[in-house]
Amino acid sequence: MEFVKNVPFFSIMLCMISGVTASMLPPKIAKWWTVALAAVVAALNAWLLSYLLSVGESYTYMMGHFPAPWGNELRGGILEALLAVVFSIVLLVSTLGGMQKLEYQVDPHKQNLFCVMLDLVLAAMISMLYTNDLFTGYVFIEIMTLGACVLIMSRQNGRTLVSAMRYMIMSLLGSGLILIAITLTYNLTGHLLMENIQQSFAQLHASGQYEVPITVITGLFFVGLGIKSALFPFHTWLPDAYGYSTPAASSVLSSIVSKAYIFLLMKIFYRVIGMDIIHSSHVMNLLFIFGVAGMILGSLSAIRSHDLRRMNAYSSVAQIGYLYAGIGLGIEAGFVAAIYHMIMHSVAKSSLFIATSGLADASGDSKRFSDLRGAGYRYPAAGICFSVSAMSLVGIPILGGFVSKLYFSQAAFEYGGVHLWVMLSALALSTFLNVLYFMRTVITLYRPPKKGFQPPAFRKDPRTVTALWIMTALNFLVGLLAQPIVMAITRGLRMFA
């Protein structure tokens, strides 16, 4: 076996070991240790991605000496490696951009714990991408849940503690539903490895046996992971969790954590239950309906927000709706559009939260729109980064959001029927609403300040400025490199089944 095939296992173990190491390092070194870890993981997975693109086929990696059905396996493919590279880079830049606020928003004695949780979130994310074992996926779902909860409450004030409690309650509800689904799956099939389960489900479906239990299992996975990824109407925990956390935590939670759950749901549909059974259960219609509702209602909630952080948080509800609407079409073009949008949104949303922090610094630590007038001039890097990210999410040509909406439209045309008109109408209305709240904010950033407003003194941290420029460049790259990214997604999806 080529050495490069060890990358998924090495990446997971490196993150776990680094988490232990970060707990023993001084806080300043621990933060840079986490940044270096993300860089190494991104480089390793980029190496694997290059190898997989050249050979054009996926592979399985058996952990330990026990083969199926008792052993544990990882599966390496183009799709998994591509997302691992993107998510690792986003975590790297988010940590770099949030270092300044982390130093005074988090107790110095707990900054190590914050870095440990970032390492564990990265480990859980990589495991959920690569796992070929259903129960291992569940174990790392719980690790992701605990890590995300600590990231939320690391900024200890009344709001974050309440937000963390709400997140924990909703997330544990989702975890419980997923565990019940796994238990029922094991009872029906006697397997935990994904290929073995799919073969058993296919045989049961062909014979007409256990149709109701299989439908229940599908619904439990859908609702459980829908809760954890903040699909409308299960999103009520999201605005406070994203809006009141430290910038680094908000950036990581919005760009990585929710996407890992959605990708795992896609993997379960494709590689555990099987698309034939999924289509026969009509669960895709529910995903489509909830996704379209999220696209519209999330945007309406963002318009009503008077705080920039909460506007960004409600915008995430709308963007998650895009993902589920694309998946809900149930065709390859819809999945491709959803995965590209996942990449675009990970970059743009992390940029928005880090830029928002800088703009607030330039406005007396205020996130209210009335105080943000002129902030784009006072902090040019943050203003440009926010504007570019907002324009990407709106769908301005050249940037990634335009490309993803174009692919969603193409997928809707390919599907046809009522879904076509519903999808196109939702895209048009959601884009209009995006323009209202994002462009209003961009215009506000470059309006003259109110009379009598004295710009507060603030320090532009070089680490944050560097991260802002990197994020701006990444937003452009995702749009300019859309064609090779989509080609890689398409190849990966076809070897995914």
| Cα(193)–Cα(127) distance, integer angstroms | 14
Of 110, 111, 96, 116, nearest to 32 (Cα)?
A: 96
| Per-residue pLDDT, 66 | 64
Question: Is the model more confident about 6 or about 307?
Answer: 6
Report which residue type is found at 370: S
| Per-residue pLDDT, 484 | 92
* The dihedral formed by the CA atoms of 465, 468, 473 and 476, expressed in degrees to the nearest 10: -150
Mean predicted confidence (pLDDT) in 75-93: 91
6-11: long-range contacts (C-beta < 8 A, 24 or more apart)?
Answer: 6/61, 7/44, 7/45, 7/47, 7/48, 7/76, 7/81, 8/48, 8/61, 8/74, 8/76, 8/80, 8/126, 8/130, 9/61, 9/63, 9/74, 10/44, 11/41, 11/44, 11/45, 11/84, 11/126
Question: Is the model more confident about 235 or about 59?
Answer: 59
| Cα(423)–Cα(408) distance, integer angstroms | 8
Structure token digits, residue 393? 């999410």
Reply yes or no on whether the pLDDT at 349 is more than 80: yes
What value does the mean pLDDT of the chain take?
84
245 contacts 160 by C-beta, under 8 angstroms: yes
Mean predicted confidence (pLDDT) in 222-237: 83
Q: What is the pLDDT of residues 87-145, one digit of tens each?
A: 999 999 988 888 777 777 777 777 888 888 888 889 999 988 998 888 888 888 888 88
| Per-residue pLDDT, 77 | 87
CB burial class (10 A; 0-12, 13-18, 19+) of residue 232?
A: buried
Region of poorest pLDDT, from 385-389, 460-464, 468-472: 460-464
Of 141, 105, 110, 113, nearest to 34 (Cα)?
A: 113
Reply yes or no on whether the pLDDT at 71 is more than 70: no
- All residues at 6 or more sequence positions from 97 whose CB lies less than 8 Å from its CB, including other chains: 247, 248, 251, 354, 357, 463, 464, 467, 468, 471
60 φ, ψ (degrees, to nearest 5): -115, 145
Residues in the chain: 497
| Per-residue pLDDT, 380 | 87
Region of poorest pLDDT, from 67-71, 312-316, 396-400, 462-466: 67-71
- All residues at 6 or more sequence positions from 418 whose CB lies less than 8 Å from its CB, including other chains: none
Of 494, 492, 462, 484, nearest to 80 (Cα)?
A: 492
Mean predicted confidence (pLDDT) in 220-245: 81
| Per-residue pLDDT, 455 | 67
| Cα(14)–Cα(145) distance, integer angstroms | 20
* Count of beta carbons in the 10 Å neighbourhood of residue 3: 9
Q: Half-sphere exposure of residue 117, counting CA atoms within 13 Å on the CB side?
A: 22
- All residues at 6 or more sequence positions from 466 whose CB lies less than 8 Å from its CB, including other chains: 96
Token match 């090495």: residue?
10
Residue 341's pLDDT band, with cuts at 50, 70 and 90, is: very high
Q: What is the pLDDT of residues 248-281, one digit of tens each?
A: 888 888 888 888 889 999 898 888 888 888 888 7
DSSP state of 331: S
| Per-residue pLDDT, 166 | 81
> What H or E segment, with its residue span, contains residue 371?
none
Reply yes or no on whether the pLDDT at 340 is more than 90: yes
SS3 state at 329? coil
155-161: long-range contacts (C-beta < 8 A, 24 or more apart)?
Answer: 155/105, 155/106, 155/244, 155/245, 155/246, 155/249, 156/107, 157/244, 159/240, 159/244, 160/244, 160/245
- All residues at 6 or more sequence positions from 81 whose CB lies less than 8 Å from its CB, including other chains: 7, 45, 46, 48, 49, 52
**Across 72-179, where does the E strand assignment appear?**
72-76
Token match 């902030």: residue?
375
Mean predicted confidence (pLDDT) in 76-90: 91
Reply yes or no on whether the pLDDT at 287 is more than 90: no
| Per-residue pLDDT, 473 | 92
Share of the chain above pLDDT 90, in %: 12
Report which residue type is found at 282: H
Share of the chain above pLDDT 70, in %: 95
Q: Best-predicted range by mean pLDDT among 151-165, 198-212, 395-409?
A: 395-409
Q: What is the pLDDT of residues 13-36, one digit of tens each?
A: 898 888 888 888 888 888 888 889
| Per-residue pLDDT, 5 | 84
Residue 463's pLDDT band, with cuts at 50, 70 and 90, is: confident
| Every domain of the chain and the residues it spans | 282-310+320-497
